[in-house]
Amino acid sequence: MSAEPMTTVAAAGAADTVESVFPQLEALLPLVQKPIQYVGGELNAVSKPWQSTTVRWALMYPDAYEVGVPNQGVQILYEVLNEQPDVLAERTYAVWSDLETLMRQHDVPQFTVDAHRPVGAFDVFGLSFATELGYTNMLTALDLAGIPLQAGERGDEHPIVLAGGHAAFNPEPIADFIDAAVIGDGEQAALEITALIRDFKAEGSPGGREQLLMRLAQTGGVYVPAFYDVEYHDDGRIKRVIPSRPGVPWRVSKHTVTDLDAWPYPKKPLVPLAESVHERASVEIFRGCTRGCRFCQAGMITRPVRERSITGIGEMVEQSLQATGFEEVGLLSLSSADHSEIKEVAKGLADRYEGTNTSLSLPSTRVDAFNIDLANELSRSGRRSGLTFAPEGGSERIRKVINKMVTEDDLIRTVTTAYGNGWRQVKLYFMCGLPTETDDDVLQIAELAREVIKTGREVAGRKDIRCTVSIGGFVPKPHTPFQWAAQLDHETTDARLMKLRNVIRDDRQFGKSIGFRYHDGKPGIVEGLLSRGDRRVGRVIEAVWRDGGRFDGWSEHFSFERWMRCADQALADLPVDVDWFTTREREFSEVLPWDHLDSGLDKDWLWEDWQDSLNEVEVDDCRWTPCFDCGVCPQMGTDIEIGPTGKQLLPLTAIGAGAEALRG
């Protein structure tokens, strides 16, 4: 396929107006699968005249519409930006290959779904990477947009390509393709960047693209990879990463939003017409997590914990329901049962919505009976959701290694309560490939599952109870204590999982009551390469994309063979290969590709935690024990923000605006 830039778009900012590409697109839509995903027009979508705005963002979640449209990060930015009168934000998603082919044939550029404007005409093309597997989709979008893939080849007429999201905490593998990256919470950062661009344009854009990037870099909160040089040792390790020009800071800081009640977004969640992966409104009840699970990048990079208050949550839930008509509201966070007033929140909401066919869900995998109380409480107003517990490790020993403080007794007691409360099925999450793990650690998962079914049958007084064991492969991530760890090779991962499967299958007494779900280890190796890779991995990504790689997060489109073949070729003249990036253990002294991106975590503390892990020493949560000096709060000037507030959710008295209009 051609990777030539395929359309010339109007120079950003210079054009008075930008034509919608919908007329050209419309003729193609009857020829593709699920055309509704490309037309926009969702309830609560925003449209603005181009000329009425000065700073324009195209926001992309680089996956299919059905996955991207519910994404909270994009929805929040979309709303926060569009609330500014002179700012326009529109959304774009990855197009499937049927439409991609037609767009190339008919010269239709990557477009936004809101007003079908060409992405190349915006000031900023912001991509939110929840996972690294969206990188190839970014290249498709850039190419279709007529934006050169290599940042160095872009001119003043092209948008600033800006990466965010959790994967941006190590943006080095995509350093060649992005102009800038922002790490941490995006809402305030997006407004600051907008203000900077607004001023820059008002001054007549002095110095063009280069100067704009310079201004962004000088804030210390925007990483511009082109302004840093990476030097390597002969053996392939990084020697140092240094600013390549004066005025560029040595390290770039993450952004942390405080006082969540002041940021009640999204206020008007998008309601797509097409079916999406989450058919519900979501209310984020807190950010951050300090349980300290050592494998969990999300927990490490979002510290400290900042809660939304019980009343703030109540308002957002009601507002979302009013604005969307969704039947379900999810109370989101990394571990929702940990909110200091979750019991009052659950009771208050259940009281409010009892009898209204409104379901409340709370993603929490905490292994304790309290979780079941919450589930019971929430199911009063709507459907009863499933119960999932995540012991993560099969053996007591490995759970100490990963700092998941759950004993076998805890687990058995918890599932006993669940079965005793009428649940017939529970799900258990585990990981395979954890540091120091042996076959035995994983085989103990079978022991646990057997014990769960055995006690479950006793308390339920029946045989038809089930438990499903779900296993994910562990991928070491940057900014975690396991950032130095060797990733387990996929052959060993697969062999271990097969042994476990066989043990469960061969168990005549309990095997039939235990479901087993797992993924093979290969995609994890690619994820590992992209997570802990450095700038040299960029050429692998480009080679895979040129070879046709797209939608790597979808097992039916992912090709391990292609990734390995392209990596072999692209890295052939370098002293590094896929194993070097994935299954190799690092030493303390090694410069890691993301060391100059400051998540606030103290590298010494992370190393000590890694050593504690190897010594099977656990660490407590700083919400209920003293600060253990992970470094984030002093480094970022933040503090833990938690309740209790002592407030209550009062019954709703006002009837909705819609209901009022109906009855007069």
Partner 1 sequence: MARQPPERDNAPAVQKLRLRYAKRGRLRFTSHRDIQRALERALRRAGVPMAYSSGFTPHPKISYAGAAAMGAASEAEYLEISVTERLDPDRVRAALDAALPPGLDVVDVVEAAPGALADVLQASEWAIQLPDVSAGQAGDAVAALMAKGEVEVERMMKSGPRRFDARGPIVRLAADSGQTTSGAPCAILRLVVRHATPAVRPDDVLTALRQVAGLTPPVPPLVTRLAQGPLDPESGTVADPLAADRASVDDAVAANPHPR
DSSP state of 368: S
Identify what 35 binds: ligand SF4, partner 1, none; CB under 5 to 8 Å per kind.
Answer: partner 1
Identity of the residue, 31 or 574, whose beta carbon is nearer to partner 1 in the bound complex:
31
- Rounded to the nearest whole angstrom, what is the least distance from the CB of residue 639 to ligand SF4 in the complex? 7
Identity of the residue, 239 or 424, whose beta carbon is nearer to partner 1 in the bound complex:
424
DSSP state of 390: E
| Closest-CA residue to 161 (of 212, 207, 204) | 212
- Rounded to the nearest whole angstrom, what is the least distance from the CB of residue 483 to ligand SF4 in the complex? 17
Identify what 655 binds: partner 1, ligand SF4, none; CB under 5 to 8 Å per kind.
Answer: partner 1
- Cα 83 to its chain centre, rounded Å, is 24
3-state secondary structure 517-562: EECCCHHHHHHHHHHCCCHHHHHHHHHHHHCCCCCCCCCCCCCHHH
Identity of the residue, 140 or 290, whose beta carbon is nearer to ligand SF4 in the bound complex:
290
Identity of the residue, 96 or 295, whose beta carbon is nearer to ligand SF4 in the bound complex:
295
| Closest-CA residue to 63 (of 5, 141, 123) | 141
Identity of the residue, 168 or 418, whose beta carbon is nearer to partner 1 in the bound complex:
418
Strand 281-284 with 328-332, pairing? parallel
d(C-alpha 403, C-alpha 394), whole Å: 13
Number of residue whose CB is nearest ligand SF4: 622
Identify what 50 binds: ligand SF4, partner 1, none; CB under 5 to 8 Å per kind.
Answer: none
Identify what 323 binds: partner 1, ligand SF4, none; CB under 5 to 8 Å per kind.
Answer: partner 1
Q: Which chain residues interact with partner 1 by CB under 8 A?
A: 22-23, 26-27, 29-31, 35-36, 38-43, 45, 271, 273-275, 279, 321-327, 355, 357, 383-384, 422, 655-656, 658-664
Identify what 633 binds: ligand SF4, partner 1, none; CB under 5 to 8 Å per kind.
Answer: ligand SF4
Identify what 661 binds: partner 1, ligand SF4, none; CB under 5 to 8 Å per kind.
Answer: partner 1
Identify what 640 binds: ligand SF4, partner 1, none; CB under 5 to 8 Å per kind.
Answer: ligand SF4
- Rounded to the nearest whole angstrom, what is the least distance from the CB of residue 303 to ligand SF4 in the complex? 4
The answer to whether the beta carbons of residues 42 and 236 sit under 8 Å apart is no
Q: Which residues pair with 271 in a beta bridge?
A: 43
The answer to whether the beta carbons of residues 378 and 328 sit under 8 Å apart is no
Q: Which chain residues interact with ligand SF4 by CB under 6 A?
A: 290, 303-304, 622, 627-633, 640
- Rounded to the nearest whole angstrom, what is the least distance from the CB of residue 456 to partner 1 in the complex? 15
Neighbour count for residue 561 (Cβ, 10 Å): 8
Identity of the residue, 42 or 179, whose beta carbon is nearer to partner 1 in the bound complex:
42
> How far from 449 is each of 94, 415, 463, 484, CA to CA, in Å?
40, 10, 15, 31
Give residue 310's identity as a one-letter amino acid code. I
| Closest-CA residue to 214 (of 203, 201, 227, 205) | 227
Identity of the residue, 262 or 662, whose beta carbon is nearer to partner 1 in the bound complex:
662
Task: For the chain, report the end-to-end CA distance as a whole number of angstroms.
Answer: 60
- Rounded to the nearest whole angstrom, what is the least distance from the CB of residue 369 to partner 1 in the complex? 18
- Rounded to the nearest whole angstrom, what is the least distance from the CB of residue 382 to partner 1 in the complex? 8
- For 567, phi and psi rounded to 5 degrees? -65, -45
- Rounded to the nearest whole angstrom, what is the least distance from the CB of residue 99 to partner 1 in the complex? 12
- Rounded to the nearest whole angstrom, what is the least distance from the CB of residue 334 to ligand SF4 in the complex? 13
Identify what 628 binds: partner 1, ligand SF4, none; CB under 5 to 8 Å per kind.
Answer: ligand SF4
Identify what 85 binds: partner 1, ligand SF4, none; CB under 5 to 8 Å per kind.
Answer: none
User: Residues of 495-519 as b/e, b for ≥16 C-beta within 10 angstroms?
Assistant: ebbeebeebbeebeebbebbebebb
d(C-alpha 91, C-alpha 644), whole Å: 37
- Rounded to the nearest whole angstrom, what is the least distance from the CB of residue 346 to partner 1 in the complex? 17
